[in-house]
Chains A and B, each alone.
Chain A
C-alpha cells in the first residue's frame, strides 16, 4: 500500500475512532439535583448527571474544561469536569449561593449569597474566599463588565444594582431599579448594563460610563395578566441588535429591539421561563421552563419555537458547551 493511501486510511480510522464532540446545552434541574445535557444536533437529552442540592446558576470557564455549579442547598459551588461528569471538588461559597459570574481572568468567581446579603469572591485556584462584600438584601443577579473592572450584584429586596470595583472590592455606585431585580448583564461591549426586575415587570438600561438610566423596557402580552409578566433572564444576539427576554410565568419570551427598546414579538414557550442559552452559532436559543420541566428551542432567525425537550424537574440555569 502506498504511504499516502496508508496515511489517509489511518486518518480515516482515527476519525471514526474519535467520538465527534457535538455541542451541548447544560441545564441545572433545581428540584432533581441533577444536570441535563442536551445534544444540540439531535435536540435530545444525552446525559443526566447528579450534583449537589438545588443546583441553580451554572457556568463554564473560558476553555470549557470546568463547569461551576451553584448548589444552593449544599451551600457550595461545585466544580465539575464536564468530560466525565465527575465533581472534582467544592469551593467555599458562603451560604445559599444562587447566581455567580466568572471574572474574565478565569480565576475569580463572584457569588451572590442570597441569605447573607453578601457577595463572596472566591479564588478557584487556591479554593479560598478572597473577600465578602456587604450588599443589599437577597442578592441574586451577577454580572461582570467585559474589561473585568466592574461587577454588579442586584439585590432582590433592596431593589438596587450595586456597582463593585473589582480592584478595591468596594461598591462605588448604587442604582435603584424596579422591584425584585433578578438578573443583570453588561451588553453592547460593556457600554450598557441591563437589569431585569421580576415584580416590576421591566428591564432598566443604564449607561455604564456614568451609571445613568437610559431607558426602560416594558412588556405587555395580549390576554396575559400584567402580574404574570415577570422578566428574568435575557440574552442578546452577537450583533447586539436583538434581545430575547424570558418572561417567567407568562410563558413567553419577548424579542426586543435593543435600539428602540421596543418589543417586536412574543414567543410562546413552556411554563415559567427563567433563563436561556444560545447554541454556539447563535442560530438557536434554549429556554429553561421551570414549572413544565422542559427546555424550548427557539429558532433565532424565524423567532419560532421549534421543539420542547423534557428535562428534569424545575430546570433553572442553562449554559452552552461547544
Chain B
C-alpha cells in the first residue's frame, strides 16, 4: 500500500515537473480556450441570448454558454497530451522503468491517469479565474460543485488517451490523433453549441453529439456549475471511463499487448 501511494506521488510529481518544465504547453493550454472565448464567442455576443435549456434558468450570452465547453476543451487537450506522452516515455525508455516497478500495471496506469487529470483540473480552474476577471462569473458553490465533474471528465478523456497511446507506435502519429480524435470529439459535442442548435443544423450531427461521451463530460461540468444534478451525464462518463480504462489495460497487457516488442 505504501509503495502504491509512493508510486502515485512520484508519478504526480513527475507529471507536474514535466508540465512546469514545458512553459509553452502551459501557456498553450490556457491560450487555446481564451482565444475561443475572446475571439470566437465575442463574435456571437450580439443581442440574442441563447434560448433557455436546462440547467439555465434565464437567457445567457454565448460567452457564458461556452465556458463549460472550454473547460472541457482544456481537459480534452491536456488529458490527451498527457496520456500520449506515454508514447514518448516508451521511445525514451522511461516506460520500461515505470512498468517494471513491483506494482500492478493497472495501478501504474491509474497513477499516470490521476496525475494527468489533476494537472488538467488545475488548468481548468486557472481558466475559470480568467473568465471571472473578464466578467463571466458563476455562483461560489458552483465552482466547488464542478470539481468532481472536472475530475471525472479529465479521467475519462485521459483514459481514452492511454488506450489510444497503446496503439501508437511513434510520437509523430500524434497529429493523426489530433485530427481524428481530439478535433471531432470537441467539435461534435455540446461544447460549442447546444443540442437543439445541432438538431436545427442536421439530425445526424445531433445524433453524433448524443453519442459522443465528451458531450456528457461537458454537460456534467455545465450542470454542476449551476448546481443541477445530471445523473445521465455522470453515468455515461463513468461508463466511458471504465470502458476506456479496460481498453487501456488490454492495450498495455504484456500477454496480448500491441506494444510488446517496443517496451
What residues make up the interface of A, taking CB atoms closer than 8 Å to B? Answer: 221-224, 228, 249-252, 268-271, 292, 296-297, 305-308
Question: Is A222 within 8 A of B47, CB to CB?
Answer: no
Among all A-B residue pairs, the 10 with the closest Cβ atoms: A308-B58, A223-B45, A305-B58, A307-B57, A224-B47, A223-B46, A251-B47, A268-B49, A268-B59, A250-B47
B 42-70 to A, binary, CB cutoff 8 A, 1 in contact else 0: 10011111011000011111000000000
* C-alpha gap A306/B61 in the complex (Å): 13
Point out the residues of chain B lying under 8 angstroms from A221, CB to CB: 47
Question: Is B49 within 8 A of A270, CB to CB?
Answer: yes
Cross-chain contact of B47 among A228, A296, A307 (Cβ < 8 A)? A228
Question: Is B58 within 8 A of A307, CB to CB?
Answer: yes
- The 6 listed contacts between A and B (C-beta, < 8 Å) are A223-B42, A268-B60, A270-B59, A292-B59, A306-B57, A308-B58
Question: Is A296 within 8 A of B45, CB to CB?
Answer: no
- Minimal beta-carbon separation of A293 from chain B (angstroms): 11
The closest CB in chain B to the CB of A296 belongs to B58
What residues make up the interface of B, taking CB atoms closer than 8 Å to A? Answer: 42, 45-49, 51-52, 57-61
- Minimal beta-carbon separation of B49 from chain A (angstroms): 5
* C-alpha gap A251/B59 in the complex (Å): 10
* C-alpha gap A222/B43 in the complex (Å): 11
* C-alpha gap A222/B63 in the complex (Å): 14
- Minimal beta-carbon separation of A134 from chain B (angstroms): 38
- Minimal beta-carbon separation of A313 from chain B (angstroms): 16
* Residue from A223, A224, A252, A297 with most neighbouring chain B CB atoms (10 Å): A223
Question: Is B59 within 8 A of A224, CB to CB?
Answer: no
The closest CB in chain B to the CB of A250 belongs to B47
Secondary structure of the B side of the interface? loop
Question: Is A251 within 8 A of B45, CB to CB?
Answer: no
- Minimal beta-carbon separation of B141 from chain A (angstroms): 15
- Minimal beta-carbon separation of A203 from chain B (angstroms): 19
* C-alpha gap A321/B240 in the complex (Å): 52
The closest CB in chain B to the CB of A221 belongs to B47
Point out the residues of chain B lying under 8 angstroms from A269, CB to CB: 49, 58-59
**CB-CB under 8 A for A268 and B61, given A223-B45, A228-B47:** yes
Point out the residues of chain A lying under 8 angstroms from B42, CB to CB: 223
Question: Is B47 within 8 A of A249, CB to CB?
Answer: yes
Cross-chain contact of A252 among B47, B58, B60 (Cβ < 8 A)? B47
- Minimal beta-carbon separation of B34 from chain A (angstroms): 19
Question: Is B47 within 8 A of A308, CB to CB?
Answer: no
Given contacts A223-B45, A269-B59, 12 further A-B contacts (CB under 8 A): A224-B47, A228-B47, A249-B47, A251-B49, A268-B59, A269-B58, A296-B58, A296-B59, A297-B58, A306-B58, A307-B58, A308-B58
Point out the residues of chain B lying under 8 angstroms from A292, CB to CB: 51, 59
* C-alpha gap A222/B51 in the complex (Å): 20
* C-alpha gap A268/B49 in the complex (Å): 7
Point out the residues of chain B lying under 8 angstroms from A297, CB to CB: 58
* C-alpha gap A221/B49 in the complex (Å): 14
- Minimal beta-carbon separation of A292 from chain B (angstroms): 8
* C-alpha gap A262/B43 in the complex (Å): 26
- Minimal beta-carbon separation of B56 from chain A (angstroms): 9
Point out the residues of chain A lying under 8 angstroms from B48, CB to CB: 251, 271
* C-alpha gap A223/B49 in the complex (Å): 12
- Minimal beta-carbon separation of B38 from chain A (angstroms): 13
Point out the residues of chain B lying under 8 angstroms from A252, CB to CB: 47
- Minimal beta-carbon separation of B111 from chain A (angstroms): 42
* C-alpha gap A204/B57 in the complex (Å): 34
Point out the residues of chain B lying under 8 angstroms from A305, CB to CB: 58-59
Point out the residues of chain B lying under 8 angstroms from A251, CB to CB: 47-49, 59
* Residue from A221, A228, A297, A308 with most neighbouring chain B CB atoms (10 Å): A308
The closest CB in chain A to the CB of B48 belongs to A251
- Minimal beta-carbon separation of B45 from chain A (angstroms): 4
Question: Is A308 within 8 A of B52, CB to CB?
Answer: yes
- Minimal beta-carbon separation of A179 from chain B (angstroms): 20
The closest CB in chain B to the CB of A308 belongs to B58
Question: Is A308 within 8 A of B57, CB to CB?
Answer: yes
* Residue from B46, B47, B51 with most neighbouring chain A CB atoms (10 Å): B47
Question: Is B46 within 8 A of A224, CB to CB?
Answer: yes
The closest CB in chain B to the CB of A229 belongs to B47
